[in-house]
Amino acid sequence: MNADERTDSARTAKQIIARLTSITIVAIVFIGSIIWSIITIPELFAALNSKSDLIVINISAFYCPSMVVLSACALYMLLYELIKKENLPKNKMQIAIYILMIGVAAMVFLPRYATRYYINKVEHNGYSFNAKQSYEWLFYRKLAFTKPINKK
Protein backbone atom coordinates (compact mmCIF):
# COMPACT_ATOMS: atom_id res chain seq x y z
CA MET A 1 0.00 0.00 0.00
CA ASN A 2 1.54 3.29 -1.04
CA ALA A 3 1.20 6.71 0.64
CA ASP A 4 -1.65 7.86 -1.63
CA GLU A 5 -3.76 4.78 -0.84
CA ARG A 6 -3.18 5.23 2.91
CA THR A 7 -4.18 8.89 2.69
CA ASP A 8 -7.33 7.97 0.73
CA SER A 9 -8.31 5.24 3.19
CA ALA A 10 -7.69 7.55 6.16
CA ARG A 11 -9.78 10.26 4.49
CA THR A 12 -12.55 7.75 3.78
CA ALA A 13 -12.50 6.51 7.39
CA LYS A 14 -12.75 10.10 8.66
CA GLN A 15 -15.66 10.78 6.29
CA ILE A 16 -17.51 7.68 7.50
CA ILE A 17 -16.95 8.64 11.14
CA ALA A 18 -18.16 12.19 10.42
CA ARG A 19 -21.28 10.89 8.66
CA LEU A 20 -22.08 8.42 11.43
CA THR A 21 -21.59 11.14 14.04
CA SER A 22 -23.89 13.46 12.08
CA ILE A 23 -26.52 10.74 11.73
CA THR A 24 -26.31 9.98 15.46
CA ILE A 25 -26.72 13.63 16.45
CA VAL A 26 -29.62 14.22 14.06
CA ALA A 27 -31.29 10.97 15.16
CA ILE A 28 -31.03 12.04 18.81
CA VAL A 29 -32.59 15.41 17.95
CA PHE A 30 -35.35 13.64 15.98
CA ILE A 31 -36.19 11.18 18.76
CA GLY A 32 -35.92 13.88 21.43
CA SER A 33 -38.30 16.14 19.49
CA ILE A 34 -40.83 13.35 19.12
CA ILE A 35 -40.64 12.49 22.83
CA TRP A 36 -40.88 16.16 23.84
CA SER A 37 -43.90 16.59 21.54
CA ILE A 38 -45.61 13.55 23.03
CA ILE A 39 -45.07 14.92 26.54
CA THR A 40 -45.81 18.63 26.07
CA ILE A 41 -48.53 18.92 23.43
CA PRO A 42 -51.16 17.04 25.49
CA GLU A 43 -50.25 19.33 28.41
CA LEU A 44 -51.10 22.35 26.24
CA PHE A 45 -54.56 21.00 25.43
CA ALA A 46 -55.13 20.03 29.05
CA ALA A 47 -54.16 23.54 30.16
CA LEU A 48 -56.77 25.09 27.88
CA ASN A 49 -59.50 22.88 29.32
CA SER A 50 -58.34 23.25 32.91
CA LYS A 51 -60.53 24.80 35.58
CA SER A 52 -57.56 25.23 37.92
CA ASP A 53 -56.57 28.53 39.51
CA LEU A 54 -53.14 28.22 37.84
CA ILE A 55 -52.49 27.38 34.18
CA VAL A 56 -48.95 26.87 32.91
CA ILE A 57 -48.28 26.90 29.17
CA ASN A 58 -45.00 25.42 27.93
CA ILE A 59 -44.12 27.51 24.88
CA SER A 60 -41.17 25.33 23.90
CA ALA A 61 -43.68 22.70 22.78
CA PHE A 62 -44.37 24.80 19.69
CA TYR A 63 -40.80 24.28 18.47
CA CYS A 64 -41.09 20.48 18.53
CA PRO A 65 -43.14 19.87 15.37
CA SER A 66 -40.68 21.99 13.39
CA MET A 67 -37.72 20.11 14.83
CA VAL A 68 -39.35 16.80 13.95
CA VAL A 69 -39.74 17.91 10.31
CA LEU A 70 -36.22 19.38 10.07
CA SER A 71 -34.45 16.48 11.73
CA ALA A 72 -36.45 13.85 9.80
CA CYS A 73 -35.54 15.49 6.51
CA ALA A 74 -31.87 15.83 7.48
CA LEU A 75 -31.81 12.22 8.67
CA TYR A 76 -33.28 11.05 5.36
CA MET A 77 -30.66 12.98 3.41
CA LEU A 78 -27.77 11.67 5.51
CA LEU A 79 -28.95 8.06 5.47
CA TYR A 80 -29.60 8.16 1.71
CA GLU A 81 -26.01 9.21 1.03
CA LEU A 82 -24.60 6.68 3.50
CA ILE A 83 -26.62 3.70 2.28
CA LYS A 84 -26.69 4.40 -1.47
CA LYS A 85 -23.14 5.81 -1.47
CA GLU A 86 -24.23 8.56 -3.85
CA ASN A 87 -25.59 12.05 -3.59
CA LEU A 88 -29.30 12.70 -3.37
CA PRO A 89 -30.79 13.01 -6.88
CA LYS A 90 -31.68 16.55 -7.95
CA ASN A 91 -35.47 16.05 -7.79
CA LYS A 92 -35.28 14.56 -4.28
CA MET A 93 -32.87 17.29 -3.19
CA GLN A 94 -35.37 19.95 -4.33
CA ILE A 95 -38.15 18.28 -2.35
CA ALA A 96 -35.86 18.03 0.69
CA ILE A 97 -34.98 21.73 0.41
CA TYR A 98 -38.69 22.66 0.24
CA ILE A 99 -39.39 20.54 3.32
CA LEU A 100 -36.46 22.15 5.15
CA MET A 101 -37.75 25.62 4.23
CA ILE A 102 -41.21 24.72 5.52
CA GLY A 103 -39.65 23.43 8.75
CA VAL A 104 -37.64 26.62 9.25
CA ALA A 105 -40.69 28.79 8.51
CA ALA A 106 -42.74 26.75 10.97
CA MET A 107 -40.00 27.13 13.58
CA VAL A 108 -40.08 30.91 13.15
CA PHE A 109 -43.83 31.49 12.93
CA LEU A 110 -45.56 28.62 14.78
CA PRO A 111 -44.28 29.48 18.28
CA ARG A 112 -45.08 33.16 17.82
CA TYR A 113 -48.66 32.77 16.58
CA ALA A 114 -49.53 29.70 18.64
CA THR A 115 -48.37 31.52 21.76
CA ARG A 116 -50.57 34.49 20.92
CA TYR A 117 -53.52 32.15 20.34
CA TYR A 118 -53.03 30.38 23.67
CA ILE A 119 -52.51 33.61 25.61
CA ASN A 120 -55.66 35.15 24.11
CA LYS A 121 -57.66 32.00 24.83
CA VAL A 122 -56.47 31.80 28.44
CA GLU A 123 -57.00 35.52 29.08
CA HIS A 124 -60.46 35.27 27.50
CA ASN A 125 -61.26 32.63 30.13
CA GLY A 126 -60.49 35.15 32.90
CA TYR A 127 -56.87 34.33 33.67
CA SER A 128 -54.10 36.91 33.91
CA PHE A 129 -50.35 36.57 33.36
CA ASN A 130 -48.30 35.81 36.48
CA ALA A 131 -44.66 36.82 35.98
CA LYS A 132 -43.55 35.43 39.37
CA GLN A 133 -44.55 31.87 38.49
CA SER A 134 -43.39 32.06 34.85
CA TYR A 135 -40.00 30.81 33.75
CA GLU A 136 -37.78 31.55 30.75
CA TRP A 137 -34.39 30.26 29.65
CA LEU A 138 -33.33 30.62 25.99
CA PHE A 139 -36.09 28.91 23.98
CA TYR A 140 -37.61 27.18 27.00
CA ARG A 141 -40.51 29.24 28.31
CA LYS A 142 -43.28 28.42 30.70
CA LEU A 143 -45.94 31.07 31.04
CA ALA A 144 -48.08 30.99 34.14
CA PHE A 145 -51.59 32.40 34.29
CA THR A 146 -53.69 32.73 37.43
CA LYS A 147 -57.36 33.30 37.98
CA PRO A 148 -58.19 36.20 40.26
CA ILE A 149 -59.51 35.19 43.65
CA ASN A 150 -63.14 36.20 44.03
CA LYS A 151 -63.73 38.05 47.28
CA LYS A 152 -67.19 37.54 48.65
Q: pTM for the whole thing?
A: 0.76
Residue 150 DSSP label: P
- The SS3 of residue 145 is strand
Per-residue confidence (pLDDT) for residue 148, from 0 to 100: 78
Residue-wise DSSP of 50-77: --SSEEEEEGGGGGHHHHHHHHHHHHHH
Per-residue pLDDT reduced to its tens digit, 100-149:
999 999 999 998 899 899 889 888 988 999 989 898 887 788 899 998 77
Share of the chain above pLDDT 70, in %: 91
pLDDT digits (tens, 9 = 90+) for 45-61: 888 887 888 888 888 88
**Neighbour tally for 98: CB within 10 Å:** 11
